[in-house]
Structure 1
Amino acid sequence: MKDTLGEKWFYAFNYVILSIIGLSCLLPLVHLFALSLSNNAAIVSGSVTLWPIGWNIESYDKLFFGTRILSGFQNSLVITIVGTVLNMIFTICCAYPLSRKFMYGRKFFTLAIIFTMLFSGGLIPSYLVVKSLGLIDTYGALWLPALVSVYNMLVMRSFFMGLPEEIEEAARMDGCSEVGLLLRIILPLSMPVMAALVLFYAVSHWNSFFNVMIYINSTAKYNVAVLVQQMIQSQTVLQDVANQSPEDLNSVTEESIKAAGVFVMTVPMLIVYPFLQKYFVKGVLIGSVKG
């Protein structure tokens, strides 16, 4: 069936708008990459746009060996990997019972959980609770309050509810227990939505900034997001680099080191996303439409 003239114009309009939005997200990153690889004269003169001028990689050398960015990467990996694993475990443990029709009071518990999306205790009560638990200056302060995202839990619950009941009945007739049903049947069928939620949780932990600033006091435990933010705000980046690496700094500028830091912080998520992208749209749409 051929598209009508109105549909063609609609598709063309969508492509134009989406292209503009995509370029508005991509071009600043490309500019930062070009800035991080350009020489001093081009950066100072402001002639760098979307292509490096001079091809100078000294900014990355000073970034990795003259700052604490590598330790920040290690901390970010710990926060992201452990946090995402805990998030998925507790989200599954919460979503699966609420998706079972035979669970007594599941509507009440679902509404009680949704209630937390509308009202929360606020920053100060949350801080006092974390402090009373002795989690200040530990990564537990980042993991425990965010164990389950209500929105993500509802998406996974809706996905579980949309699975065919015949599969579950056949598994139970074969003697499969409830735990076995979850681990051997439900979760393998739920890979699309799980991949999407893993991406949601991982991006949230990797970009975690505000909670780290509030709960983490030791600078040695800062993640890469906080270190890059401090680097951007600092007016003495070259002096800080010189204290760590006393080699000649004439080949780099503060702008190039800052641009390299922002680009390096963004790269890991850009690398992970293509591997999960094929599950991303399918998982979110199926989980959010059904149920």
Structure 2
Amino acid sequence: MFSTKRQTASDAVFDVVNNVIMLCICFITLYPIWYVIVNAFNDGSDAMRGGIYWWPRQFSLESFRAVFNSSGIMTAMGVTVAKTVVGTVVHVFFTAMVAYAVSRKELIGRQLYMVIGTITMFFGGGLIPYYLLIRDLGLLDSFWVYIIPAMFSFFDLIIFLTFFREIPEALEEAAKIDGANDFRIFWSVIIPSSMPVIATIALFHGVYQWNDYFTGMIYINDTDMQPIQTYLYRVVAQSSSNQMLAAMPSGVAVTVTSQSLKLATMVVTTAPIVFVYPFLQKYFVKGFMLGAIKG
């Protein structure tokens, strides 16, 4: 009886300490985001005095108005949405199709393909050879530079491959008896049975496409083809923020600073994925549990 009480007391202490540590971690993680939001909604000239930590001291939307008045941000947002949607659909379909082919035991050279793919996960040619390849393929300053190089991921192939091996072979055999070819089996049997893993890969790659700024910075010189994250990079680098500030009416520019424009742009560029992600996360968890039950 005494040992049971000691165990209960130690569990209570552990729970308290664990909760305190987790709260501290949550605060350290979330407060910088809250700080950016608070200062973005504060008057720019007033924010320069400092002392704003929890709530806006002088609430103002002028910085956001200046951001949305910029013609470049809406163009960049359109490019980001287009490449996220198209890139995710193409990536999931192409990677799943290759993974299904590799999962077939009758595929000649299957082990060689796995070895070559595994090597590419650890070794690469570097940025300069990759840039020369993109240039020779004619993808510089092209929308397809966001799509074609990201069509396939060997890491995602391994995830698909693991799931495909759990699908009963009887389903494919029944489809072959009905006269279905390999592509029809893939489209009508494998894809509907693989929605949990498809949701997982789509979530991961969609977030990657939205957050990717490096591709637009290196391979795109046309500012009208750069995504929102590259636009944010240019604003943080001050060149675009100073141009936006100079283009504003004099009465508004008094209350807006280069720093407030940067913070407002950060909020605008990150808000869509922050709001969408919880809904995607719900389907991701559901798909993960379905996959666990299926396995």
- Using structure 2 for the length normalisation, give the TM-score: 0.85
User: CA shift at 1:266, angstroms?
Assistant: 0.8
User: CA shift at 1:109, angstroms?
Assistant: 1.2
- Report if aligned partners of 1:31, 1:50 keep a CA contact under 8 Å in 2: yes
The residue number in structure 2 matching 1:95 is 99
The residue number in structure 2 matching 1:43 is 47
- Report if aligned partners of 2:43, 2:59 keep a CA contact under 8 Å in 1: yes
Higher deviation after alignment, 147-156 or 36-45: 36-45
Q: Across the two proteins, how many residue pairs are aligned to each other?
A: 287
The residue number in structure 1 matching 2:129 is 125
The residue number in structure 2 matching 1:136 is 140
Q: Which consecutive residues of structure 1, in runs of 5 or more, have no partner in the other structure?
A: none
Q: Within 1, Cα distance between the matches of 2:200 and 2:244?
A: 39
Distance 1:48 1:122, change over 3 A: same
The residue number in structure 2 matching 1:263 is 267
In angstroms, what is the RMSD of aligned CA positions? 2.9
Distance 1:247 1:152, change over 3 A: farther
- Kindly report which structure 2 residues correspond to 1:93-242, keeping only aligned pairs within 5 A, or say none: 93-234=97-238, 237=241, 239-242=242-245
Query: Secondary structure at 1:104's aligned position in 2?
Result: coil
Q: Within 1, Cα distance between the matches of 2:145 and 2:206?
A: 17
User: CA shift at 1:283, angstroms?
Assistant: 4.9
Distance 1:140 1:287, change over 3 A: farther
User: CA shift at 1:11, angstroms?
Assistant: 6.3
- Report if aligned partners of 2:245, 2:256 keep a CA contact under 8 Å in 1: no
Query: Secondary structure at 1:143's aligned position in 2?
Result: coil
Q: Within 2, Cα distance between the matches of 1:74 and 1:258?
A: 20
Query: Secondary structure at 1:79's aligned position in 2?
Result: helix
The residue number in structure 2 matching 1:274 is 278
The residue number in structure 1 matching 2:248 is 245
Query: Secondary structure at 1:45's aligned position in 2?
Result: coil
Work out the percentage of aligned pairs sharing the same amino acid.
Answer: 34
Q: Within 1, Cα distance between the matches of 2:14 and 2:146?
A: 44
Distance 1:10 1:110, change over 3 A: farther
Distance 1:33 1:153, change over 3 A: same
Instruction: Give the counterpart letter for 2:52 in structure 1.
Output: V
Q: Within 2, Cα distance between the matches of 1:174 and 1:14?
A: 57
Instruction: Write the deviation string for residues 186-207 of structure 1: whole angstroms up to 9, x where unpaired.
Output: 2122222211211211222222
User: CA shift at 1:37, angstroms?
Assistant: 0.8
Instruction: Give the counterpart letter for 2:236 in structure 1.
Output: I
Distance 1:11 1:173, change over 3 A: farther
Q: Within 1, Cα distance between the matches of 2:113 and 2:204?
A: 24
Instruction: Give the counterpart letter for 1:26 in structure 2.
Output: L
Distance 1:146 1:85, change over 3 A: same
Query: Secondary structure at 1:194's aligned position in 2?
Result: helix
Pair member with larger Rg: 2
User: CA shift at 1:14, angstroms?
Assistant: 5.7
Q: Within 1, Cα distance between the matches of 2:124 and 2:148?
A: 15
Distance 1:103 1:234, change over 3 A: same
Instruction: Give the counterpart letter for 2:169 in structure 1.
Output: E
Distance 1:10 1:185, change over 3 A: farther
Query: Secondary structure at 1:156's aligned position in 2?
Result: helix
Q: Within 2, Cα distance between the matches of 1:121 and 1:24?
A: 38
Higher deviation after alignment, 15-24 or 205-214: 15-24
Instruction: Write the deviation string for residues 228-254 of structure 1: whole angstroms up to 9, x where unpaired.
Output: 1111121773x4124433352112222
- Report if aligned partners of 1:193, 1:279 keep a CA contact under 8 Å in 2: no
- Report if aligned partners of 2:42, 2:58 keep a CA contact under 8 Å in 1: yes
User: CA shift at 1:215, angstroms?
Assistant: 0.9
Q: Which consecutive residues of structure 2, in runs of 5 or more, have no partner in the other structure?
A: 1-6
